[in-house]
């Protein structure tokens, strides 16, 4: 057991007692690591991270808080990394491995046996380290107590949860856990010796006097904590930093070898583009031939360039105006000016995240190469099924080594992670980096597309929250479809925006249908207290459309009002009786000469009911079904087929728009509302909130089809939207039950009220809604405070409003339970920062429920059982994946297991809304688990619930009959 440290300045000249203190130990071997060595490793890693990986924006934020600027910031980050584990130099920690503890006793550091320390849980080594650092600063450097916590909290929180006031008080009364009473002086001497060595080697001894008067902002404390966590995780990996007795190489060789093996990509470091807007867009995006930059896009770039300090930009513009391209162009400018090292594109669903990911990759491929040989960009798709996405799986890591995680810290939960066994083509430009692909670390990649949940998690009191803040603090954040979130989610979003504003993170918010009050809330949340109330009334009062709103730190908001692009559609809006025969009659008439119609229903049950009736009337091959309850690969193929058949001119040949016996009909749920560039001749939609109804109208005559739409059938050359899903004979109209369950009566009745002048019109001229001009007026009226609709509707609307307000209040209160505190005053330590939190937060079913008020959901993997009893993959999958036999006595081969994992299906609301039904369903699925698939090495299948269908695609679950077909997806009926 040698650890003389003669080859390292961290160990050279230390006393035998200080050299004997251990930090790491492998359970299955004699390998161990002395604390002085881990301190040196952690400091060296922190230096490399700071110099080569941390974005400039993060470094500057820390530097601004310290008297010595950039030099102080680097020294502080390295010192905190070096000293984060000083709490392991205590009896409470050291007693855990008896052989190593006995070695310490032999060198004068006495301690009881582990079984004799019943109260050692009061001194987890992070909290113990915080206490030791505080005493060292006060007793050896004269710091006042009040100045210490903002620095020492980093050690206290480096395992993901900063201590609470109660934790700190409890340890104060158990001093023997820090130093054995009989040898307290020896313990203190060893602790101080290690801390003195760190102060000298990190170059902070002469800086300590100046730091006493610093007021570290809470965002800086968070970022330093996160950096220490990352440095600790890397330095704790025995593959990178071998343990004794083998890991005896000198410091430079040891660190160089580890850093080379880790091979972390550098952050993005763009130069601000200098070309004009037209040239910029031509270089970055695949624009159609002859396409011009639209006014909204040009105005967004001009506004970004005119902002002295990057901040928040809200882009409100119609569907199809190129908001995504505008956001990416603004992100490039903001990143260059702010020092951001990447970009996170947050979207409402996994489907929209998947749709955005290849667009993000295409944009990255067109960026100027600013890396100068520094390596590839790191890219991540942030949702629970990212490993099944072909575009993401194709970004194979350059370094396929599987670095082990250590048995890091016995007094804390296991911090290990598992890597997905993705396969695909190697890329020299874009890398889903192997170290960054972990559950908590993936968001640290430079470029990320993912669900909004990943951003909302930054407002949720949860373990390792500091890492989530580091992940966004060094990026430009783009929030798409900002109107799509309810009161519960907006509580988290507003809180997160306030932290982003405190970090100085540039944010771009996109929406086609944003209520004015919500625009003001977003701007005020980002601005925080720094901007006061100045100018925010004007933000809410602005009625122009398109509209750009900009907020920079310490400045009044600015508004830009670009001209519309001139693209527009006049849509005739008609009420349609909610009767399937009436619908079929109308479609038969309007599609007699061909064309295509989109029928949007608010529930999957209505989709199935409508499709079955229309097939009986129009023919099986004329009706296509689209909704969310398809297997994931089926839904992806459905989206691709929809784009091929009904996409924009040039991307579809239009042949599928007609049919020998009449036109085509797509019956769909809300999945067609966003992120699908599809174009239909006729729209039928259930009554929905006005912003969503307008989104659906955006799928109607979306692209020109000949001069004056001459390529469309003659009777369909006028864009027409038929609104069903309500009893239009009632006053006010009564929405169907399913729609009211999904959206609430208030938003549906407000939509009916603002559309009432059009719906009650006597002819096409009076029923015409001009888009995009009418979008903002309709949205503001529907979501504004003023009464709408005929006077006789007043009482019903007021009652619906009362119920709506009550539900919103419940949502706000519910969100508060685990909502992070607002940014605290400078110098206030992060004590109790995530106290009473949720533990870990991730993409699991339970994790998402923490930031979405959607109740429980349940996802299963689907296979089939043949008549001979064998389990097989569903037969219609492409290639040799379909109908492949699955072993039940062993773990399936990786590719076969991955095929099963890809066949995920979220069970419908009917099976999850009642907790008793949900519990029954889970119990039945667990009873049918294939035990061999639960093995530790079964990464894709272990822990998953599998729904087994018979050869006809049927199953019974929790008292319901389930039937799955490739054409219609999942249908659920009560078993009678």
Where residue 95 sits, what CATH number does that domain have? 1.10.3210.30
- Cβ pair 571, 771 in contact under 8 A: yes
| Dist. CA 750–CA 742, nearest whole Å | 15
| Cα Dmax for the chain | 98
CA count, 13 A, side-chain hemisphere, 190: 30
Q: Angle 336-341-346 (CA atoms, 0-180°, nearest 5)?
A: 100
Pairwise pLDDT comparison (734 vs 28), residue with the higher score? 734
Q: Are 87 and 176 in contact (CB under 8 A)?
A: no
The mean per-residue pLDDT over the stretch 2-19 comes to: 81
In the sheet with 960-965, reading across from the earlier edge strand, the strands are: 954-957, 960-965, 969-974
Question: CA-CA distance, 793 to 779, in Å (whole number)?
Answer: 19
Residue of 44, 77, 41 whose CA lies nearest to 59 = 77
In this structure, the answer to whether residues 640 and 556 fall within a common structural domain is no
- According to DSSP H, which parts of 651-705 are helical? 690-697
Which domain covers residue 899, as residue numbers? 856-974
> Taking residues 449-468, what's their average pLDDT?
91
Q: Which residues does 299 contact at the CB level (< 8 Å), separation at least 6?
A: 546, 548, 560, 562
d(CA 601, CA 490): 26
With respect to residue 357, please indicate whether it lies within any of the assigned structural domains: yes
Assign 832 a pLDDT band (cuts: 50, 70, 90): very high
Q: Is the pLDDT of residue 150 over 80?
A: yes
> Is pLDDT of 137 > 70?
yes
Vertex 307, ends 301 and 311: CA angle to 5°?
95
C-alpha distances out from residue 379 to 424, 447, 574, 950, Å: 15, 5, 46, 40
Q: Environment class of residue 358 by beta-carbon count within 10 Å: exposed (0-12), middle (13-18) or buried (19+)?
A: middle
pLDDT tens across 661-682, in order?
789 999 999 999 877 788 999 9
Using pLDDT thresholds of 50, 70 and 90, give the confidence band for residue 418: very low
Per-residue pLDDT, 910: 87
Q: What is the DSSP string of 407-476?
A: ---TTS-------------B-SSEE--TGGGSTTTGGGSSEEEEEHHHHHGGGB--TTHHHHHHHHHTSE
Q: How many CB atoms lie within 10 A of CB 172?
A: 10
| 842 pLDDT more than 60 | no
What percentage of the chain's residues is helix, strand, coil (to nearest 5)? Answer: 45, 15, 40
User: In which band, very low, low, confident or very high, does the pLDDT at 864 lie, cut at 50, 70 and 90?
Assistant: very high
CA separation, residue 9 to residues 190, 192, 243, 715 (Å): 16, 16, 18, 85
Q: In 10 A of CB 439, how many CB atoms?
A: 15
**Where a domain ends, among 744, 771, 798?**
771
CA dist 242 and 85 (Å) reads 18
Bridge partners (DSSP) of residue 872 are 864, 885
What pLDDT score does 430 carry? 63
Whether residue 440 is predicted with pLDDT greater than 80 in this model: the reply is no
Last residue of a domain, one of 509, 526, 560: 560
**Residue 399 pLDDT:** 39
d(CA 788, CA 797): 9
Does residue 197 sit within a domain? yes
Q: Looking at the structure, do residues 607 and 552 belong to the same domain, yes or no?
A: no
pLDDT recorded at residue 638: 92
Domain boundary among the residues 754, 771, 788 is at: 771
| H-run or E-run covering 864 | strand 859-865
Residue 815: both structure tokens together: 């969100």
Asked whether residue 627 carries a pLDDT value surpassing 80, the answer given is yes
Same domain, 628 and 734: yes
pLDDT digits (tens, 9 = 90+) for 497-546: 999 999 999 999 999 999 999 999 999 999 985 555 567 889 999 989 99
Look at residue 416 and tell me if it is in a domain. Answer: no
Gap between the Cα atoms of 721 and 923, Å rounded: 45
pLDDT in tens, 303-350: 999 998 999 999 999 988 899 999 999 999 999 999 999 999 999 887
Task: Tell me the percentage of the chain whose pLDDT exceeds 70.
Answer: 89
Q: Are residues 318 and 237 in the same domain?
A: no
* Residue in this structure with the two tokens 């990190």, named with its chain if needed: 202
CATH number at residue 328: 3.40.50.300
Tokens 């405190």 correspond to what residue? 502
Q: How far apart are CA 418 and CA 311, in angstroms?
A: 37
Do both 453 and 505 map to the same domain? yes
Label residue 402 exposed, middle or buried (CB < 10 Å: 0-12, 13-18, 19+).
exposed
733 and 714 part of one domain: yes
How far, in Å, CA of 766 to CA of 519, rounded?
A: 31
pLDDT in tens, 335-389: 999 999 999 999 988 778 888 888 898 999 899 866 544 457 888 887 766 666 6
- The span from the CA of 545 to the CA of 771, in Å, is 11
Q: Are residues 326 and 457 in the same domain?
A: yes
Q: Are residues 733 and 753 in the same domain?
A: yes
Contact 465, 495 (CB under 8 A): no
Place 955 in a pLDDT band, splitting at 50, 70 and 90.
very high
Query: Is 70 exceeded by the pLDDT of residue 819?
Result: yes
Does one domain contain both 554 and 592? no
In whole angstroms, what is the distance from residue 906 CA to residue 279 CA? 44
- How many CB atoms are closer than 10 A to CB 809? 11
Do residues 9 and 167 touch, judged by C-beta distance below 8 A? no
400 or 290: which leads in pLDDT: 290
Does position 581 have pLDDT exceeding 70, yes or no?
Answer: yes
pLDDT range class, residue 427, cuts 50, 70, 90: very low
Q: What is the pLDDT of residues 697-725, one digit of tens each?
A: 999 998 888 888 999 999 999 999 999 99
Q: What is the DSSP letter of 572?
A: E
Statement: residue 853 has pLDDT above 90? no
Q: What is the DSSP letter of 119?
A: T
Q: What is the structure's pLDDT at 232?
A: 94
Closest to 438 in 3D by CA, of 479, 474, 471: 471
Q: Which residues pair with 377 in a beta bridge?
A: 430
- pLDDT for 373: 44
User: Domain for residue 318, yes or no?
Assistant: yes
CA angle at 762 for the pair 761 and 765, rounded to the nearest 5°: 75
- Name the β-bridge partners of 94: none
Q: Which pLDDT value is given to residue 297?
A: 96
User: Per the structure block, which two tokens stand in for 610?
Assistant: 């409508």
Q: What phi and psi, each to the nearest 5 degrees, are found at residue 646?
A: -130, 20
Which helix (H) or strand (E) segment is 70 a member of? Answer: helix 69-83
Nearest by Cα to 151 from 239, 25, 269, 65: 65
Q: How many C-beta atoms lie closer than 10 Å to residue 719's C-beta?
A: 23
Helix count (H) and strand count (E) of the chain?
34, 28
Rounded to 5 degrees, φ, ψ at 755 are -90, -10
**Exposure of 637 by Cβ count < 10 A (0-12 exposed, 13-18 middle, 19+ buried)?**
middle
pLDDT confidence of residue 768? 96
pLDDT digits 0-9 by tens, 228-251: 999 999 999 888 888 876 555 457
The C-alpha atoms of residue 153 and residue 130 are separated, in whole angstroms, by 6
Q: Same domain for 350 and 206? A: no
CA angle 652, 510, 627 (to 5 degrees): 50
Q: Report, in angstroms and rounded to the nearest whole number, the Rg of the chain calculated over CA atoms.
A: 31
Q: Does residue 47 sit within a domain?
A: yes
Residue 824 domain-assigned? no
| Mean residue pLDDT across the chain | 88
Same domain, 761 and 614: yes
Number of independent structural domains in the chain: 4
What is the distance between the alpha carbons of residues 705 and 652, in angstroms, rounded to a whole number? 12
Q: Given a cut of 50, is residue 162 above it in pLDDT? A: yes
Q: Cα 271 to the chain's mean position, in Å?
A: 27
Distance CA 138, CA 128 (A): 15
Residues 549 and 638 in one domain: no
Alpha-carbon distance 64 to 68, whole Å? 9
- Give a yes or no: residue 850 inside a domain: no
Q: In whole angstroms, give the CA distance from residue 217 to residue 197.
A: 28
**CA of 269: how far to CAs of 111, 266, 307, 377, 475, in Å?**
51, 9, 19, 10, 11
Preceding peptide of 723 cis, ω within 30°: no
Token pair 């199953």 in the structure block, residue: 955
Dist. CA 484–CA 490, nearest whole Å:
10
CB-facing half-sphere around the CA of 53: CA atoms within 13 A: 20
Cis bond upstream, residue 732 (ω within 30): yes
- pTM for this one? 0.89
Span 590-602, mean pLDDT?
96
pLDDT exceeds cutoff 50 at 422:
no
Residue 406 lies in a domain: no
């Amino acid at each position: 057991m040698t650890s003389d440290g003669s080859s390292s300045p961290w160990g050279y000249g230390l006393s035998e007692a200080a050299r004997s203190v251990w930090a790491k130990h492998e359970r299955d071997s004699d390998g161990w690591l002395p604390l002085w060595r881990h301190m040196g490793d952690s400091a060296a890693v922190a230096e490399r991270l700071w110099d080569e990986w941390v974005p400039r924006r993060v470094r500057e934020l820390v530097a601004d808080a310290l008297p010595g600027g950039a030099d102080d910031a680097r020294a502080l980050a390295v010192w905190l990394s070096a000293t984060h584990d000083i709490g392991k130099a205590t009896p409470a920690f050291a007693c855990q491995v008896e052989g190593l503890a006995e070695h310490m006793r032999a060198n004068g550091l006495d301690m009881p046996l582990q079984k004799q320390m019943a109260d050692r849980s009061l001194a987890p080594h992070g909290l113990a380290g915080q206490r030791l650092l505080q005493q060292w600063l006060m007793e050896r450097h004269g710091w006042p107590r009040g100045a210490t916590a903002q620095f020492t909290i980093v050690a206290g929180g480096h395992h993901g949860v900063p201590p609470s006031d109660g934790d700190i008080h409890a340890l104060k009364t158990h001093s023997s856990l820090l130093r054995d009473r009989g040898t307290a002086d020896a313990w203190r001497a060893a602790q101080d010796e290690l801390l003195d060595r760190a102060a000298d080697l990190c170059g902070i001894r002469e800086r300590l006097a100046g730091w006493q008067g610093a007021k570290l902002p809470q965002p800086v404390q968070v970022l330093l904590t996160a950096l220490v966590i990352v440095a600790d995780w890397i330095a704790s990996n025995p593959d990178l930093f071998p343990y004794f007795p083998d890991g005896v190489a000198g410091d430079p060789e040891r660190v160089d070898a580890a850093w080379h093996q880790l091979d972390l990509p550098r952050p993005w470091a763009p130069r601000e583009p200098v070309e004009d807007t037209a040239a910029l867009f031509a270089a970055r995006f695949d624009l159609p031939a002859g396409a011009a930059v639209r006014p909204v896009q040009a105005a967004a770039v001009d506004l970004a360039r005119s902002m002295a300090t990057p901040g928040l930009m809200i882009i409100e513009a119609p569907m199809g105006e190129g908001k995504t391209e505008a956001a990416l162009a603004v992100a490039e400018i903001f990143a260059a000016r702010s020092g951001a090292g990447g970009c996170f594109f947050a979207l409402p669903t996994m489907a929209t995240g998947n749709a955005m990911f290849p667009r993000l990759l295409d944009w990255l491929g067109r960026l100027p190469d600013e890396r100068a040989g520094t390596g590839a960009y790191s890219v991540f798709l942030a949702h629970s099924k990212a490993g099944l996405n072909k575009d993401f799986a194709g970004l194979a890591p350059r370094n396929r080594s599987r670095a082990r995680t250590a048995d890091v810290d016995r007094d804390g939960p296991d911090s290990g992670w598992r890597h997905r066994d993705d396969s695909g083509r190697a890329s020299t430009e874009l890398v889903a980096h192997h170290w960054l692909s972990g559950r908590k670390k993936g968001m640290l990649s430079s470029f990320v597309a993912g669900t909004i949940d990943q951003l909302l998690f930054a407002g949720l009191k949860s373990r390792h929250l500091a890492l989530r803040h580091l992940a966004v603090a060094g990026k430009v954040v783009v929030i798409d479809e900002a109107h799509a979130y309810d009161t519960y989610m907006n509580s988290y979003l507003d809180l997160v925006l306030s932290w982003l504003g405190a970090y100085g993170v540039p944010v771009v918010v996109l929406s086609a249908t944003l209520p004015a009050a919500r625009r003001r809330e977003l701007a005020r949340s980002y601005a925080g207290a720094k901007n006061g109330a100045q100018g925010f009334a004007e933000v809410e009062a602005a009625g122009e459309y398109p509209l750009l709103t900009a907020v920079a730190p310490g400045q009044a908001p600015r508004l830009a009002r670009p001209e519309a692009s001139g693209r527009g559609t006049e849509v005739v809006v008609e009420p349609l009786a909610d009767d399937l025969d009436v619908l079929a009659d109308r479609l038969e008439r309007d599609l007699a000469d061909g064309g295509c119609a989109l029928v949007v229903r608010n529930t999957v049950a209505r989709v199935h009911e409508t499709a079955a009736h229309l097939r009986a009337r129009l023919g099986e091959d004329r009706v296509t079904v689209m909704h969310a309850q398809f297997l994931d690969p089926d839904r992806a193929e459905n989206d691709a087929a929809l784009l091929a058949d009904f996409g924009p001119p040039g991307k579809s040949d239009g042949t599928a728009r007609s049919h020998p016996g009449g036109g085509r009909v797509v019956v769909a749920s809300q999945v067609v509302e966003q992120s699908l560039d599809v174009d239909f001749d006729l729209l039928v939609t259930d009554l929905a909130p006005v912003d969503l109804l307008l989104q659906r109208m955006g799928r109607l005559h979306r692209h020109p089809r000949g001069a004056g739409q001459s390529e469309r059938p003659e009777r369909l050359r006028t864009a027409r939207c038929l609104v069903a899903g309500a009893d239009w004979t009632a006053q006010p109209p009564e929405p169907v039950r399913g729609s009211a369950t999904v959206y609430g009566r208030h938003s549906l009745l407000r939509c009916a009220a603002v559309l009432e002048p059009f719906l009650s019109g006597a002819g096409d001229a009076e029923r015409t809604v001009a888009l995009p001009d009418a979008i903002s007026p309709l949205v503001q009226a529907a979501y504004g405070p003023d009464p709408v609709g005929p006077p006789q509707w007043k009482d019903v609307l007021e009652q619906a409003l009362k119920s709506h307000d009550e539900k919103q209040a419940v949502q706000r209160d519910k969100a508060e339970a685990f909502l992070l505190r607002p940014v605290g005053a400078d110098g206030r330590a992060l004590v109790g920062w995530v106290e009473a939190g949720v533990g870990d937060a991730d993409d699991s079913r339970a994790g998402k429920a923490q930031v979405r008020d959607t109740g429980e959901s349940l996802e299963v993997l689907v296979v089939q059982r043949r008549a001979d009893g064998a389990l097989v993959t569903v037969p219609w999958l492409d290639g040799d994946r379909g109908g492949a036999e699955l072993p039940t006595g062993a773990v399936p081969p990786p590719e076969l297991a991955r095929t099963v994992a890809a066949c995920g299906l979220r069970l419908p609301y009917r099976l999850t809304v009642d907790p008793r039904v949900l519990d029954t369903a889970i119990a039945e699925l667990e009873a049918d688990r294939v035990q061999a698939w639960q093995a530790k090495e079964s990464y894709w299948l272990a822990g998953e619930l599998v729904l087994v269908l018979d050869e006809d695609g049927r199953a019974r679950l929790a008292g319901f009959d389930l039937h799955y077909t490739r054409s219609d997806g999942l249908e659920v009926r009560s078993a009678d």
